[in-house]
A and B are shown apart, each in its own frame.
Chain A
Amino acid sequence: MKGKPLAAVVSAGLSKFGKRDEFSGREIFAEAAKEAFERCPNLEPKKDIRALIVGNMSESFEHQCHLAPIMSDWAGLLPTPSLRVEAACASSGAAIRYGLFMILSGVCDVVMVGGFEKMTHRTTFEATEYLAMASDFPLEQWNGATFPGLFALMATAHMHEYGTREEQMALVAVKNHHNATLNPKAHMQREVTVDQVLGSRIIAKPLKLFDCSLISDGASCAILTKPEIARKYTDTPVYIIGSGHGTDAIGLYERDSLTSLKSTRIAAKEAYEMAGLSPKDIDVAEVHDCFTIAEIIAYEDLGFCNPGEGGKFIEEGISTLDGELPVNTSGGLKAKGHPVGATGVAQLYEIFLQLTGQADERQVENCNIGLTQNLGGSGATCIVHIYQRG
């Protein structure tokens, strides 16, 4: 064993992602919780779980604040203390980190972390507006920025500085859509071709519809315990061995770089150092592909390749399911879907399946170490975790 176990993941649950017309957020969350409880028969949820931390981005979608007690109730956990955390699209990545800290504090032996977002009942205009709220209001939003627009600015800069091409970005979509065909819980289980991506309608040049992740409904959760008691709940725990959290200026215009996210570099450095590992030790990763360019930049910022070589990295097939370092085996935000508050823990769910050999058709052979990278907004927040098979 390389890293020191900080906490164990003993179970996880994920709702079906997609357009869940009849269901509200709390009902979808209950679905994820039920799976996590069923995977862990020795757990007595009401008695054992000492706290629930729920990630959720926007109360605007369902006109509902004070979300945590509702999730505690719908998961059948009352009166378990509960708290919502918001870090835009990194909300549930943050839930993992602060759930981990509750375990490390010694106050709680067992903590449930999770996240959800119910989005698809809103119009594209409304969803675009609510999501844009995670960018700077006074200068960016007020002057017409959108979320795809901000990542498009990074894409243009990356293309200009490094010669990255739209075809390379399209390959990220092709790969992640393929992986999603092997994931029954994915929102969009169908293949796309490079030509389809390039020919799809423009959202914010150079990003087209198929460069963008999906507006989805979904929920995720995981049960964390002190490492010492993990075997009480499962024979196949996964250990969190590294955690990193990077914060940068909210406005893209205020940051050092337009082609790299400092928050990811900071979070990755912290997590790698804590785990005593380096990028070459990672066997499988789930990264924040909210737009295809974001996955290319993530390869570089996580140290999987050098700055500027992310386009080549995808082109060489290194991150495909049978490549040297499979990335987004779940289908990623791109094709599994991106119910924003659910995404961080949904990434953990995929790594949990991979490291416990339960990923079925998309199982990566011989994987022991997994990494998740969860971005908030245009990158003012980044949360990275590193996991090890128990």
Chain B
Amino acid sequence: MSETRQFTIEQFYKFIGERKLMGAKCSKCGKILVPPRPICPECLSDSLSWIELENRGKLLTYTIIYVAPEKFQSAAPYAFGIIELGNGVRLPGMIQGVKHEDIRVGMELKVDFDTNIPSTWPKWPRYFFRPP
């Protein structure tokens, strides 16, 4: 059934709303695309399939953001980082549930979901990272 879903960012976030971290896998070259795209940028194939990604990874780098755009300012200071999942896929996002002074490069984090959907564009939920 999932094969009929479009390989778009919109669909990526629909899955996030279902608490699933999904990517597209190119059937020709094997590249994993996160977020998914209609065409593989490596080999230009459009033969893709959905795969559920490992929802656990290692923190590659992080920052604590104090000055943010207005919509995030009430959350500031907040931690933000890039994690690498087991299959080499990288994701940027907020880090929650850990004291800022305890955040370390290399620490294990898991992907969690905030499934609230805004009423205006973009009607996307959000994912974030937290200690397992």
Please list the residues of chain A having a beta carbon within 8 angstroms of any beta carbon in chain B: 124-126, 128-129, 132, 138-140, 142-146, 148-149, 152-157, 160, 201-207, 251-254, 258
Structural contact, A149 and B63, CB atoms closer than 8 A: yes
Structural contact, B92 and A139, CB atoms closer than 8 A: yes
Structural contact, B62 and A156, CB atoms closer than 8 A: yes
Contacts of B67 in A (CB 8 A): 124, 128, 146, 148, 203-204
Whole-angstrom CA separation of A139 from B129 in the bound complex: 13
Q: Nearest Cβ in chain A — how far from B73, in angstroms?
A: 7
Q: Could you give 23 example pairs across A and B, Cβ below 8 Å? A: A125-B73, A129-B70, A138-B9, A138-B35, A143-B126, A143-B127, A144-B68, A146-B65, A146-B68, A146-B69, A148-B65, A153-B61, A156-B61, A156-B62, A156-B63, A201-B66, A203-B66, A204-B64, A204-B65, A205-B63, A205-B64, A206-B63, A251-B92
Structural contact, A258 and B66, CB atoms closer than 8 A: no
Chain A CB count within 10 A is highest, among B9, B62, B94, for B62
Structural contact, A143 and B105, CB atoms closer than 8 A: no
Say whether, besides A129-B69, A157-B61, A258 and B82 are in contact (CB < 8 Å): yes
Structural contact, B75 and A144, CB atoms closer than 8 A: yes
Whole-angstrom CA separation of A201 from B92 in the bound complex: 24
Structural contact, B65 and A149, CB atoms closer than 8 A: yes
Whole-angstrom CA separation of A152 from B65 in the bound complex: 9
Whole-angstrom CA separation of A202 from B35 in the bound complex: 31
Contacts of A160 in B (CB 8 A): 61, 105
Does B91 touch A at the CB level, under 8 Å?
yes
Contacts of A253 in B (CB 8 A): 82, 90-92
Whole-angstrom CA separation of A149 from B64 in the bound complex: 8
Q: Nearest Cβ in chain A — how far from B130, in angstroms?
A: 14
Structural contact, B91 and A128, CB atoms closer than 8 A: no
Contacts of B77 in A (CB 8 A): 202
Starting from the known contacts A142-B122, A149-B65, A205-B63, 13 additional A-B residue pairs (CB-CB under 8 Å) come to: A125-B70, A128-B68, A132-B69, A138-B13, A142-B126, A144-B78, A152-B63, A155-B63, A202-B66, A204-B63, A204-B64, A206-B63, A258-B61
Contacts of B126 in A (CB 8 A): 142-143
Structural contact, B70 and A252, CB atoms closer than 8 A: no
